[in-house]
Chain A
Amino acid sequence: MDFRDSPEEAAFRARLRAWLAEHAGEFKASGDDYWHQAGRWHTALYEGGFFGLSWPKRFGGHDLAPVYDVILDEELAIAGAPPRPSLGYLAHGLGRHASEEVQQRFLPGMINGTERWCQGFSEPGAGSDLASLTTRAELDGDEYVIHGHKIWTSYSDVADLCLVLARTDPDVPRHKGVSGFIVSMHQPGVEQRPLKMINGVSAEFGQVVFDGARVPAANMVGKPGDGWKLAMTVVGHEREPSTLGFSARYGKLVRSLAQTADAAGGKVPDDLRWAAVQAEMLRLHVRRRLSEQLDGVTHTSDGSLDKLLMTWVEQSVGHAALAVTGTRDRENLEAYLYSRAQSVMGGTSQIQKNIIAGRILGLPTS
């Protein structure tokens, strides 16, 4: 066991640090500017050779061990740069379930940032109970026609493509009749309806109404009825802080809150100290999880444990932000309000606990 960088990792870190010193300055890590520059940031990272580190070379990745993503996340946080674009869960979904042709067509653009993606799973009536989704896709020649209403679709307003879950067979048990499609967002049958979050931000997520949108049958991910398996892979990875690349950000937030408290001459509130300890836990947890992947361990239900841990960290950092500046500092207030969504997005905390109790602990269900 060694928590330190290997010589290769250290060299990578040094190279990355030098690159960030030169390029990170022009990208904002929060606020409207962050949202507006998100696409350019992705491209810059990719062109610098720092994105898609653990993905296959043939799709534009680097075939490196997953721990390199940790180094990337840590250095981005230290440099005050925006976080790694979080696409890992979609890439994993396509990597595992899509045909070689679909992978060849879509993974390079996803990784190099020329095509931006969103995830159209949730619906107004189907949130936690995703399998009750009612969006339907009907075959018409060599195309499917999609009708339905998706909601909470993150970054839908800037996306080129949407990974849509839709029902292709209403006559089989509900988990079996769902298929996944890669749908172009630039077509008449796609209507965007913006949503505003409680922190006032409108760029986070939106609603997407599909009314006769068309998608080539060839853009199906896997076979008809494979949609549920795809969804489970995607949400499983969406729950892993190691895939999301957020974890290093918390340590940085904690340090900047401590500076604020210090500058105000006040003492460091206990809430902030606790957030610091929690952030350190998550940093170490992610290192452990990614190292385990070297053994080929793929985490499934364990993602639910990770998601809970991450949620607690994010929400304690939110409370720390409130404790340090109260509502007077707009950015800290927004960080606090945003932190409340962490226990909902990617599956709520209640659902994670149900999964842990049922699938990991093997507790009886009522």
Chain B
Amino acid sequence: MDVRLTTEQRELRDAAARLADDLGPGSVLDLADDDRAARLEKAIAATGWRTLRSDGASGVEVALVAEEFARGLIDVPFVGPVLADDLYARLTAAGEPAPEGLETAAAGAATVAVDGIAVDAKGLRGLLALEGTQVLAGGVGVTVEGVDLTRLTGEVAGPLTAVGELDAEAALRWHALALVATAADMLGAARGGQALAVEYAKVRQQYGHAIGSYQAIAHLLAEALALVEGSVSVLRHAAWAVDELSAVEAVQAALVAKVYTERAARTICETSIQVHGGIGNTWECLAHVFLRRVLTSAELFPASLEEIDLGLS
């Protein structure tokens, strides 16, 4: 057993982190900066990471990039296209030519639809959806900003057409990857919220001292970091399991990761708001943007305690 990241995986993570730090929104105001978003879109398109799966990458690579992107509040699509690309890769796995309607997914330019809503749809035209074991394709209609200020959802334009069928196992694995990618997104957003609060606690002074010097604040932030570390561990396992365990086990590992990370991430983001005091409760502070992203990713492919087979009964 050795559950460390490989050198390549660390490099991928660092590259994703750099990109997020360079071009992600550094403030709420930056969210409205279309030039920056366009540069970001170009940079991410050039990496080819949206087609990690069809390029043979594992669930671990997908999770690492998703995490770093959410940490940097990357406001162009990633999780959606990666999941669409995974469906594409599964349909064409046997070396068959791509069925009609799949071309956009191949180019990393499609997202997925869940419950009739195109998620993570900014600037994307195509979409794929998995219903049962059937893969459907369609187009993205009008997009709107919802609860999450960094991602757009879209209408599904027109009827979907069936483009292929997965076997039951492949469908389960896709679901496991979806749980892992959204859990990684929550973890990244939580880490972003935590880092923001740590920085603030070092500079904000009250009663003549940095607020981070007060144990009440220091302990909140220390707890938040422990929650991050717990989440990293369950998530690493789940990300690995997507490809390495049986499909049923992969889903179980992913459910554990998602349920744990959801609770942890929400608490961490609430802590971030609290550490910021009044400012944390204003729109202009990024703390709620992280929280909103966590809430949204929690609801996208939701997981509940009841679904986890804990072997307790």
Contact = CB atoms under 8 A, between A and B. Distances in A.
B280 interface: yes
Contacts of B216: 350, 353-354
B283 A340 contact: no
A326 interface: yes
A128 B277 contact: yes
Nearest to B273: A340
A350 B284 contact: no
Nearest to A351: B216
Contacts of B161: none
Contacts of B288: 198, 337
B134 interface: no
B281 A341 contact: yes
Interface string A158-200: 0000000000000000000000000000000000000111101
B27 interface: no
A345 B281 CA distance: 10
B282 A348 contact: no
Tell me the dominant secondary structure on chain B's binding face: helix
Contacts of A348: 274, 277
A349 interface: yes
A344 B282 contact: no
A90 interface: no
Given A122-B278, A198-B280, A326-B298, 7 more contacts: A196-B283, A198-B283, A198-B291, A200-B283, A341-B281, A344-B277, A350-B216
29 contacts: A127-B206, A127-B277, A129-B206, A129-B208, A132-B206, A151-B278, A152-B278, A195-B282, A196-B283, A196-B284, A197-B281, A197-B282, A198-B280, A198-B285, A322-B295, A326-B295, A326-B299, A327-B299, A328-B299, A333-B295, A340-B273, A340-B280, A343-B274, A344-B278, A344-B281, A349-B274, A350-B214, A350-B217, A353-B216
Interface of B: 146-147, 206-208, 214, 216-217, 270, 273-274, 277-278, 280-285, 287-288, 291, 295-296, 298-299
The 9 lowest CB-CB distance pairs between A and B, nearest first, are A198-B288, A196-B283, A350-B216, A129-B206, A327-B147, A341-B281, A129-B207, A152-B278, A128-B206
